[in-house]
């Protein structure tokens, strides 16, 4: 039997108050998600725009939806007016496209810059050169608030490898904060850690974890 409220409670007690838990509800139906909602949880993450939109219609209005997966430019317009945080800005072009859509509705949209930290061909993200290029040209984005960085570690059981990837991102987050956002409280999210590696992520400084299967998946 799966106990979603208990799962959330367990994870929250392990990560502490300064770390935000994003309940990643991708692939789970609205009837499952509502169990987390009814337990008081309000922050959910989805990785596909279409899936997010169809579930959003079935669920309460006060949910904060985070987009955590690769975003195609032509889909931005469907989420731009309500999305709480976009974790997955993985190119300068995408950032420009988000800025353009946000300007049309006169909204400033909080975004995280997704860094490529894994040793895998399949993961999206910026390298450091691309990151600094964006940061050096921040004044061109009038409708974006850069709220932090995000990354996904390699899918491996080698803890040392995961740890070094998380430490790399954590150091980068701190460097960027000092250099580009020294007096701003808006740059504040270090989004790293999923079901398999969130404890390590938090130990490496994460303050926002994205956990799906550990909350929602059925196990006995
Ligand atoms: C699916 C997903 C997660 C959560 O993965 P779990 O292993 O189910 O916790 C976190 N981040 C991203 C970007 C995802 O796509």
Q: Tens of pLDDT along 154-176?
A: 999 999 999 999 999 999 999 99
Distance from residue 28's CA to the centre of ligand 1 (Å): 12
Closest atom, ligand 1, to C-alpha of 217: 8
Q: Which of 194, 196, 213 to mutate to test ligand 1, by most ligand atoms within 8 A of the CB atom?
A: 194
Comparing 123 with 23, the larger pLDDT belongs to 23
169-172 long-range CB contacts below 8 Å, 24 or more apart? 169/115, 169/117, 169/204, 170/204, 170/205, 170/206, 172/115, 172/128, 172/131
Report which protein residue has its CA nearest ligand 1's atom 6: 212
Closest atom, ligand 1, to C-alpha of 87: 13
Gap between the Cα atoms of 20 and 57, Å rounded: 24
Nearest alpha-carbon partner for 55 in 37, 72, 73: 37
Q: What DSSP designation does 140 have?
A: G
pLDDT digits (tens, 9 = 90+) for 31-73: 999 999 999 999 999 999 999 999 999 999 999 999 999 999 9
pLDDT for the residue numbered 1: 59
pLDDT for the residue numbered 220: 46
CB 181 within 8 Å of CB 187: yes
Distance from residue 210's CA to the centre of ligand 1 (Å): 6
pLDDT digits (tens, 9 = 90+) for 111-151: 999 999 999 887 799 999 999 999 999 999 999 999 999 99
pLDDT band at 2 (very low <50, low <70, confident <90, very high): confident
Q: Ligand 1 pocket: which residues have CB below 6 Å? A: 24, 26, 47, 68-69, 152, 194-196, 210-214
pLDDT for the residue numbered 218: 75
CB 17 within 8 Å of CB 217: no
Output the average pLDDT for the chain. 96
Question: What would the two tokens of residue 31 be?
Answer: 């009837």
Distance from residue 211's CA to the centre of ligand 1 (Å): 6
CB 206 within 8 Å of CB 193: yes
3-state secondary structure of 65: strand
């Amino acid at each position: 039997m799966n106990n979603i409220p208990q799962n959330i409670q367990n994870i929250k007690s392990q990560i502490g108050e300064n770390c935000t838990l994003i309940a990643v509800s991708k692939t789970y139906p609205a009837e499952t998600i509502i169990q987390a909602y009814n337990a008081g949880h309000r922050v959910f993450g989805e990785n596909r725009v279409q899936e997010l939109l169809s579930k959003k219609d079935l669920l309460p209005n006060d949910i904060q939806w985070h987009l955590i997966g690769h975003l195609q430019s032509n889909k931005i317009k469907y989420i731009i007016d309500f999305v709480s945080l976009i974790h997955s800005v993985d190119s300068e072009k995408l950032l420009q496209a988000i800025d353009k859509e946000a300007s049309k509705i006169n909204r400033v949209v909080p975004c995280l810059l997704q860094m490529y930290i894994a040793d895998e061909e399949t993961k999206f993200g910026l390298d450091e050169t691309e990151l600094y290029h964006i940061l050096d040209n921040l004044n061109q984005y009038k409708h974006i608030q850069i709220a932090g960085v995000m990354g996904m570690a390699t899918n491996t059981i080698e803890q040392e490898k995961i740890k070094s990837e998380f430490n790399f991102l954590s150091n980068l987050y701190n460097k960027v904060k000092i250099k580009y956002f020294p007096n701003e409280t808006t740059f504040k999210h270090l989004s790293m850690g999923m079901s398999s590696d969130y404890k390590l992520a938090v130990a490496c400084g994460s303050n926002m974890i994205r956990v799906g299967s550990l909350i929602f998946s059925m196990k006995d």
